[in-house]
């Protein structure tokens, strides 16, 4: 099952283009599910597209209703509100979309996700990793062992089942859901950015490309809804010139596919299908960052297109490398080799360009390497900086221009 994810600035017609892609795929004989938070254009479901509305309020009520009875039984002295009185938390929209994706059946060939504005789209891609991180923090290996012991005690009747047990029982279900959502895998999920070719869109899509790269994704293309023009005149010429410049700039983000702006919104499956060509549903194979051997240690390179020095942060926390850019953060688990190393440097190469990348230097930690392996690595133990007792290691970033 493949996934097409559409996101763009407000007013770019993201829902219309996502609906058009779903209709075209369905007309080609594929079994298609369209997940959206918006009203879709008339005719979207005419050719067999299954439209799933992800409504935060309804999703919150359904989640509460599924757990409220068990929770009330474990907390008899606490007055719990009914599902119709539950207030969704901020960010519930992305959670509702995630839950809807988790309910898509195995018989589906293609899932089209109308992720809405850029912030919501990037947040949706980041959400599974963020949830996984919080689960790891809250339910460490030690906690899980204790939970298994407690679960056995509950089954034997030694202790009474409580609210904590309900929370622990929900963890495997949530982890199974996250395992089924390959939103950060370019081989399974293709991200399409939508925009009107204006200068503000160029800046917004560049920031979105950086945010997506933090989580291992990259846009496969930009769908630019271009104004068709009209009679010649100063206003028309100025608008056309601005759009041409914006289209050239957007091409640095991803290949641009122009979509002619219609005089009226398309209605009906035929009109929707005519908006777009067939779109590829994969961006390529996933490019998991791998260390490369360099003098004195190893280097890990993370693509961060268009990132500038400001706003980029790098921290080592135990076995994770924590990268922050474009207002989003990812905790990247290091492989077995780099876990036994310390971070020695971090620099941003070619900042502000499409080829911007974060290069992180590592050296062998003498406390974790046998002496013979340390000598083979060519590292002087006296020159290695030990990790701090807290397990956190900060590194300053340096700018480096084009070599």
What stretch of H or E contains 260?
strand 256-260
> What domains can you pick out in the chain, each with its CATH number?
2-273 (3.40.50.300), 292-400 (2.60.40)
pLDDT value, residue 378: 60
Strand 313-317 and strand 392-394: pairing?
Answer: antiparallel
pTM, 2 dp: 0.85
Of the CA atoms within 13 Å of residue 171, those in its CB half-sphere come to: 19
What residues contact residue 290 under an 8 Å CB cut-off, 6+ apart?
A: 300, 335
Structure token digits, residue 160:
């009474």
Quote the strand ranges of 339-403, DSSP E: 341-349, 357-364, 392-394, 397-400
* Phi, psi dihedral angles at 140 (to 5 degrees): -70, 175
Give, as one character, the DSSP assignment of residue 333.
Answer: E
- Sheet of strand 313-317: strand arrangement: 328-333, 320-325, 313-317, 392-394
**Total length of the chain:** 403
CA distances to 107, 157, 230, 251 from 197, rounded to whole Å, are 37, 65, 17, 11
Collapsing DSSP to helix, strand or coil, 316 comes out as strand
What token pair was written down for 95? 């959670």
pLDDT string in tens for the chain (403-residue length): 899 999 999 888 999 999 999 999 999 999 999 999 999 999 999 989 999 999 888 888 887 787 777 777 777 777 778 888 888 777 788 989 998 998 898 889 999 999 999 999 999 999 999 999 988 888 877 777 777 777 777 778 787 776 676 777 778 888 888 888 889 888 899 999 999 999 999 999 999 999 999 999 999 999 998 877 656 568 888 888 999 999 999 999 999 999 988 778 888 899 999 999 888 777 666 667 889 999 989 999 999 999 998 889 999 998 999 999 999 999 999 999 999 999 999 999 999 999 999 999 999 988 888 766 666 666 544 444 444 444 666 666 655 554 4
Give the per-residue pLDDT at 210: 97
pLDDT of 399 reads: 53
Question: In this predicted structure, what is the pLDDT of residue 202?
Answer: 96
């Amino acid at each position: 099952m493949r996934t097409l994810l559409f996101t763009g600035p407000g007013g770019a017609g993201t829902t219309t283009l996502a609906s058009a892609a779903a209709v075209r795929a369905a007309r080609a004989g594929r079994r298609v599910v369209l997940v959206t938070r918006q009203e879709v254009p008339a005719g979207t479901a005419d050719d067999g597209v299954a439209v799933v509305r992800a409504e935060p309020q309804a999703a919150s009520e359904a989640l509460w209703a599924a757990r409220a009875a068990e929770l009330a039984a474990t907390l008899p002295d606490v007055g719990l509100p009914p599902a119709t009185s539950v207030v969704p938390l901020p960010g519930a929209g992305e959670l509702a979309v995630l839950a809807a994706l988790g309910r898509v059946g195995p018989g589906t060939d293609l899932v089209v996700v109308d992720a809405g504005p850029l912030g919501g789209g990037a947040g949706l891609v980041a959400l599974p990793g963020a949830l996984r991180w919080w689960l790891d923090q809250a339910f460490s290996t030690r906690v899980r062992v204790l939970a298994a012991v407690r679960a056995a005690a509950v089954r034997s009747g030694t202790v009474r089942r409580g609210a904590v047990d309900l929370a622990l029982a929900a963890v495997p279900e949530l982890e199974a859901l996250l395992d089924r959502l390959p939103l950060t895998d370019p081989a399974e999920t293709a991200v399409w950015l939508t925009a009107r070719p204006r200068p503000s869109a160029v800046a917004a899509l560049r920031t979105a490309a950086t945010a997506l790269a933090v989580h291992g994704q990259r846009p496969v293309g930009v769908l630019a809804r271009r104004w068709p023009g009209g009679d010649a005149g100063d206003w028309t010429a100025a608008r056309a010139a601005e759009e041409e410049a914006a289209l050239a700039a957007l091409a640095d983000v991803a290949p641009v596919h122009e979509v002619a702006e219609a005089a009226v919104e398309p209605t009906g499956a035929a009109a929707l299908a005519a908006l777009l060509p067939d779109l590829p549903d994969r961006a390529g194979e996933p490019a998991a960052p791998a260390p490369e051997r360099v003098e004195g240690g190893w280097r890990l390179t993370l693509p961060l297109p268009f990132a500038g020095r400001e706003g980029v942060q790098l921290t080592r926390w135990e076995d994770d490398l924590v990268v922050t850019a474009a207002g989003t953060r990812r905790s990247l688990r290091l492989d077995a080799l780099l876990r036994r190393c310390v971070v020695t440097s971090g620099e941003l190469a070619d900042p502000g360009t499409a080829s911007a990348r974060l290069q992180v230097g590592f050296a062998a930690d003498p406390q974790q390497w046998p002496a013979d392996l340390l000598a083979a690595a060519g590292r002087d133990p006296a020159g290695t900086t030990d990790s701090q007792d807290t397990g956190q290691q900060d590194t300053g970033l340096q700018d480096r221009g084009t070599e």
